[in-house]
Structure 1
């Protein structure tokens, strides 16, 4: 199965954003990026964004967490990518390294945006396209770049968008690059609305439990309400085996009724609805971007059976997981 477009708008005004992926990609970065584009589409339906998950030859690539993602071939999509972000590990096979050089040069010659995320900067540096460039990355990657490519200038920032090639570090620095793209098509009033709306898209779905826990430790504030944020962390730590809301309320030190009032005031959702949304968003990502058997998806996301997941999934996304997999498979064959 091929998962090409994460977002498929019908609107005439479309911004095409491609994510060129290879083995070792950070699934958390990709998942949160796609969620951000989804939030942007709901806010500005007349200015839609289409995100495509791509690779050098199509087929599966494996994330750093060991999850396989289905992709489409970059050469079939490159011409329409206004922005192309490189998302992968630090090592590429020689044929892929050469392919990366061709793709990157084509994107830059066309005057379109090229960005690279942290570990992906290493193979990009081997193409020579970063020579003389300022680059932002995590401390570990900056150290490796300085040692191997002294002609590259390190930046202490978590992202940098002023050079020929945009760059970003670890964590969720990709959002800074995407917000630059989306922000240029939003009004001054829409930008803060998008930032607020994205709070409801919980950036840790689609991650393995270990990565999710690490990211949550690094991101201590989600909504600005300490009690709600603590409850959200409990939700995210327990997607596979959901907690009783009374237990969550007791853990955060308030009554269930107080928890419900705080959640509605802060997020617009009850704790029950928020928790369900967390699990459904995780299921949505797994259905679209992996080949995991659907009964296993149900168990992974805290649903007792596939039938229960299918019912809730259809209510939320307008189709069952099986129907969505079938549609994506047909779309991939057509492309």
Structure 2
């Protein structure tokens, strides 16, 4: 579908957003204008109060307007990072709902889909989010159809896992609106020689992440990732990998320099930390969801890995991030 008039894109920047995710989505628009010789797109930076907002790197971006302004927009992309679950400004949600009712395309980048879901704008839509936010997102919004894709374009909703995947999504939008030739030129402009579809994986393969090629060890690692909530015994894990218990221990020791138990508990604790940071689930529920039989065992393991008990870790994250968030008591504009 070809777009004729200049399209106005509003980037709603949430404190702690990823600068890379923002740049990956705005730069393709600039390149499309430059390479086409026309103003195909223009963009504005919008914040809750119309003030500059700091990215996770500490660099501040000036705002063009606030969520209280009546800015005519064709598309809104919410850029969020850190702990998007903490952002509960009713001004922001009212802004998103108001534009959604007007038929504006609404999108979220990195942690941005969390805010779209909180505003009720992803029910009935397919979406994705950065893999680090997936566990808490699934806990908070079990009714939403979440995928592990790099990006999803479902009718009037755009969601993207963030990072350089923002470039892939914007390239697809440019291709749909102004043709494949311009989109290819944008890719070449930024030295992108390998195109990625939206359905591509967010994470490296287990082979790449762990630096191993042994197929039996890879089967074991996959089984471990799939069973964080109900951990397999060593006998069950060995059976899933097609080796004996003694052989599986040897594989972990020789290829990874550690034990089955150490790798397993690290996987489960990493998932638990995401839930501690980004949900309000009780600590005991998180312990159970990550395969720990008792809260005390979970707390000891968590403290040993991260240096703080889960309750203290949650409190520290909330205090740190709430200091950068706008007031939550605003009335919708």
Aligned position for 2:63: 71
Structure of higher CA gyration radius: 2
Unaligned runs of 5+ in 1: 1-11, 201-216, 219-335
Describe how 1:297-308 pairs up with structure 2 within 5 A.
none
> Which deviations, in whole Å up to 9, do the C-alpha atoms of 1:236-295 show, x marking residues without a partner?
xxxxxxxxxxxxxxxxxxxxxxxxxxxxxxxxxxxxxxxxxxxxxxxxxxxxxxxxxxxx
Asked if 1:199 is matched to 2:194, the reply is: no
SS in structure 1 of the partner of residue 16 of structure 2: coil
> Which deviations, in whole Å up to 9, do the C-alpha atoms of 1:212-257 show, x marking residues without a partner?
xxxxx99xxxxxxxxxxxxxxxxxxxxxxxxxxxxxxxxxxxxxxx
- Give the TM-score, by structure 1 length: 0.51
Tell me which of 137, 151, 157 is aligned to 1:159: 151
Describe how 1:164-313 pairs up with structure 2 within 5 A.
164-199=156-191
SS in structure 2 of the partner of residue 130 of structure 1: coil
Count of matched residue positions in the alignment of Structure 1 and Structure 2: 189
SS in structure 2 of the partner of residue 192 of structure 1: helix
SS in structure 1 of the partner of residue 42 of structure 2: strand
Is the 1:13–1:46 Cα contact (8 Å) retained in structure 2? no
Tell me which of 3, 9, 29 is aligned to 1:37: 29
Q: 1:189 to 1:149 in 2, by over 3 A?
A: closer
- Give the TM-score, by structure 2 length: 0.52
CA distance in structure 2 between the partners assigned to 1:29 and 1:83 by the alignment: 16
Q: 1:74 to 1:182 in 2, by over 3 A?
A: farther
Aligned position for 2:118: 126
Aligned position for 2:73: 81
Aligned position for 1:247: none
CA distance in structure 2 between the partners assigned to 1:48 and 1:76 by the alignment: 26
Aligned position for 2:98: 106
Structure 1 residue ranges (4+ consecutive) displaced by more than 6 angstroms after TM superposition: none
SS in structure 1 of the partner of residue 190 of structure 2: helix
Aligned position for 1:48: 40
Is the 2:113–2:128 Cα contact (8 Å) retained in structure 1? no
Unaligned runs of 5+ in 2: 193-207, 210-333
CA distance in structure 2 between the partners assigned to 1:15 and 1:128 by the alignment: 25
CA distance in structure 1 between the partners assigned to 2:176 and 2:155 by the alignment: 17
Aligned position for 2:131: 139
Is the 2:74–2:105 Cα contact (8 Å) retained in structure 1? yes
CA distance in structure 2 between the partners assigned to 1:79 and 1:173 by the alignment: 27
Q: 1:140 to 1:181 in 2, by over 3 A?
A: same
